[in-house]
Structure 1
């Protein structure tokens, strides 16, 4: 596939992700959007009770100084929109209410298509639109969007196929674990975390329908 085609497919994919919220909120009062690489712990509290209806729940990735996406998109948004953002959110976990639906409307998306050429398209868009609209964002603790990257400075970690045991113990304490594309073989990391969370017989029994 040609580079231009890949870029077009990527843009379409992330546009659909944002548009899916707009469509879902036509039917539902509140929607929790999770990336397909997220795992939810069976011990997690009800996130809908943690975030007020007048706020969007999102993790402020800009508070993770070691993550590279914030610095990249901050410069990208400044170049494209001439606006310097202070807050940058990860969109792997988003809790949105019906009255916030317009943020993800086709009209708003089409006005900001250039942001979807970023390395992190949906995050660039949401961080920009929430800044200019002064959106009331509830800053989720990282236990609601925990990305198990423990040393960004060491690129060899990207090749890991499983997490060390001390890291896995920390992961077990979180509510939602979000395995990003940082890992080249993230399917293996997801499989390991899934087993760690759900491979206990008592856990499996508690999750069966009654």
Structure 2
């Protein structure tokens, strides 16, 4: 696998703050991928101190809970680029699973740019509405609104030349964006476009839903996406978003399946450490004992 810029320092950052048991497996996939890319893998499981990132406490409503964690998706790559000397940083959600044969994502971007993947234009319009309201209230000039440059922020590639655009000062000044329905996307779109950062659209294969060919209504209760993976599937990174309500089962089953292709023993060992799904998660109505059956299913995928 080629490496972008032989003298460059590359990092892959996965943010897994809070109760995210599936990150035990998804982090292993990206740890292996980082080695193949010549990058340092960083698993961020704790929030920085208030001194390092002095974002005031924000209420859960309106918008989503854990607003500080969404803001960290901009702050942490800035810290790696501006303070720790990395040249390019890939930031991935812990609900992403990378395939063993994925190409080097760092080769897809030029210095000074940001790499992103497109997502729903309807989501874009919701974010644009919040940005327009924010700018109008402050008498600030408008920015370009292009839904084709609106990102799903589960996979983002940053480079050192644009780090100032996501500095803590700019994040804190625009923290109202975190009350939007899509907090990180709204904040990031504003920060990048108001700073005129060049945007590179990455192939959608770097950020695609598993079972993406199925109707959206079939995703909610899905617990196993592996039957929908095929040899001719050109996806590089699967992203199990909140559209899937059984993520605590679906993500580890998918990640273990992918890990077993290259390291079945490690996959089997990790499967044994995965916690039972919580009883609060929705389960098929007429079938009791779902937790035990799911645990067996996870192990059978790598057995």
TM-score range, shorter chain: 0.7 to 0.9
Q: 1:134 to 1:50 in 2, by over 3 A?
A: same
Q: How does 1:1-210 map to 2 (within 5 A)?
A: 5-7=59-61, 10-25=66-81, 26-27=83-84, 28-61=86-119, 64-65=120-121, 68-82=122-136, 83=142, 85-86=145-146, 87-148=149-210, 150=212, 154-155=216-217, 157-163=219-225, 165=227, 167-169=228-230, 172-200=233-261, 203-204=262-263
TM-score, with structure 1 as normaliser: 0.81
Contact 1:58 1:94 in 2 (8 A): yes
Contact 1:59 1:140 in 2 (8 A): yes
Question: Equivalents in 1 of 2:90, 2:179: separation in Å?
Answer: 25
Question: Equivalents in 1 of 2:101, 2:216: separation in Å?
Answer: 32
CA offsets, 1:153-181, max 9 Å, x none?
7445312222373x322895311111111
Question: Equivalents in 2 of 1:69, 1:151: separation in Å?
Answer: 20
- If asked which structure has higher relative contact order (CA below 8 Å, sep 6+), I would say 1
Question: Equivalents in 2 of 1:149, 1:105: separation in Å?
Answer: 36
Question: Equivalents in 1 of 2:114, 2:108: separation in Å?
Answer: 11
CA offsets, 1:13-54, max 9 Å, x none?
111221111111121121111111111111011111121223
Contact 1:58 1:89 in 2 (8 A): yes
Q: 1:99 to 1:119 in 2, by over 3 A?
A: same
What is the Cα deviation at residue 71 of structure 1?
A: 3.1
Higher mean alpha-carbon deviation, 167-176 vs 34-43, is at 167-176
Contact 2:117 2:155 in 1 (8 A): yes
Question: Equivalents in 2 of 1:152, 1:12: separation in Å?
Answer: 34
Comparing both structures, which one devotes a greater share of its residues to helix?
A: 1
Q: 1:156 to 1:48 in 2, by over 3 A?
A: closer
What is the Cα deviation at residue 152 of structure 1?
A: 8.9
SS of the aligned residue for 1:44 comes to coil
Which one has a bigger Cα radius of gyration?
2
Contact 1:14 1:122 in 2 (8 A): yes
Contact 1:57 1:140 in 2 (8 A): yes
CA offsets, 1:39-73, max 9 Å, x none?
11110111111212232111122xx45xx422322
TM-score, with structure 2 as normaliser: 0.58
Task: Give the unaligned 5+ runs of structure 1.
Answer: none
State the aligned residue count: 196
Q: 1:170 to 1:14 in 2, by over 3 A?
A: farther
